[in-house]
Amino acid sequence: MKYILSFLIASVAVTSADAQELTRGIPYVKNADKLQTLDVYAPAKAKELPVVVWIHGGGWQAGDKADVYDKPKVFTAKGFVLVSINYRLLPKVDMETLTRDVAKAIRWVHEHIAEHGGDPKRLLIMGHSAGAQLAALICTDERWLKEEGLSFAIIKGCVPVDGDTYDIPAMIEVAETRCRVHGLSLPKFGHRIKFGNDPVKHKAFSAVTHVAKDKGIPPFLLLYVAGHPDVTAQAQRLGNVLKGADVPVTLFGAKETTHTKINVDLGRQDDAATAALFAFVEKVSK
Q: What is the average pLDDT value for the chain, to the nearest integer? A: 94
Phi and psi at residue 127, to the nearest 5°: -175, 155
**pLDDT, tens only, 106-153:** 999 999 999 999 999 999 999 999 999 999 999 999 999 999 999 999
What is the full DSSP assignment across 117-168? TEEEEEEEEEEETHHHHHHHHHTT-THHHHTTT--GGGEEEEEEES-S-SSH
pLDDT level of residue 3 (50, 70, 90 thresholds)? very low
pLDDT level of residue 198 (50, 70, 90 thresholds)? very high
Give the per-residue pLDDT at 221. Answer: 98
**pLDDT, tens only, 155-185:** 999 999 999 999 999 999 999 999 999 999 9
pLDDT level of residue 285 (50, 70, 90 thresholds)? confident
**pLDDT, tens only, 31-79:** 999 999 999 999 999 999 999 999 999 999 999 999 999 999 999 999 9
Give the per-residue pLDDT at 18. Answer: 55
**pLDDT, tens only, 72-117:** 999 999 999 999 999 999 999 999 999 999 999 999 999 999 999 9
In this predicted structure, the answer to whether residue 7 has a pLDDT above a threshold of 90 is no
Give the per-residue pLDDT at 20. Answer: 86
Q: Do you find a cis peptide bond into 229, omega within 30 degrees of 0?
A: no
- Using an 8 Å Cβ cutoff, are 26 and 36 in contact? no
| CA-closest candidate to residue 138, choices 54, 256, 44, 41 | 54
Give the per-residue pLDDT at 140. Answer: 98
Cβ neighbours of 216 (radius 10 Å): 10
In this predicted structure, the answer to whether residue 11 has a pLDDT above a threshold of 80 is no
Q: What's the order of all strands across the beta sheet hosting 14-15?
A: 14-15, 20-27, 37-43, 81-85, 49-55, 118-128, 155-161, 220-225, 249-254
